[in-house]
Amino acid sequence: MTQSESHSGGCQCGAVRFRVDGGLGTASICHCRMCQKAFGAFYAPLVGIEKGAELTWTRGEPAYFQSSNHVHRGFCRDCGTPLTYEAPDGLGLAIGAFDHPQEIVPTVQYGVEGKLPYADRLTGLPGTRSEEDEIALPFLATMVSYQHPDEDTDSWPQGEQQ
């Protein structure tokens, strides 16, 4: 990635938004138990930023939890979205919080001693597209999303949430 790149992202509710001007660093997933709990998931997908890149909070700022004597983690105080992993050796941003997470491909795994025994088999599970799940169709047809779109907006929320 080049230094002229810009990447934006934010939390689910839109209260916190960020932009990285410059290149992204190594993308990874961490299987350690601390990361599993911090993300409420099987692992934590994170990406660093290259030296010289600049992280700017463009709307709001994260709240922080000191998860160990070395690490604090940023998250949205309003919706709980995990945003950062900050340690003496650098800053990691949650890949899923970026507007285009499909462009950030993990290349390494950490904390594999904590990997859940079924993690490597997840891609082999049967899959169903949402519109093919007949039981869920009535639910999906009435769903109104209050999630912030995957792009910067001048203001948020747009319209009233009911």
Q: Which domains does the chain have, with CATH numbers?
A: 6-116 (2.170.150.70)
pTM here is 0.90
Tell me the per-residue pLDDT of 37-49, one tens digit each, with 9 for 90 and over. 999 999 999 999 9
Cβ neighbors of 107 (< 8 A, separation 6 or more) are 26, 27, 28
Provide the pLDDT confidence category of residue 162 given band limits of 50, 70 and 90: very low
The span from the first CA to the last CA of the chain, in angstroms, equals 41
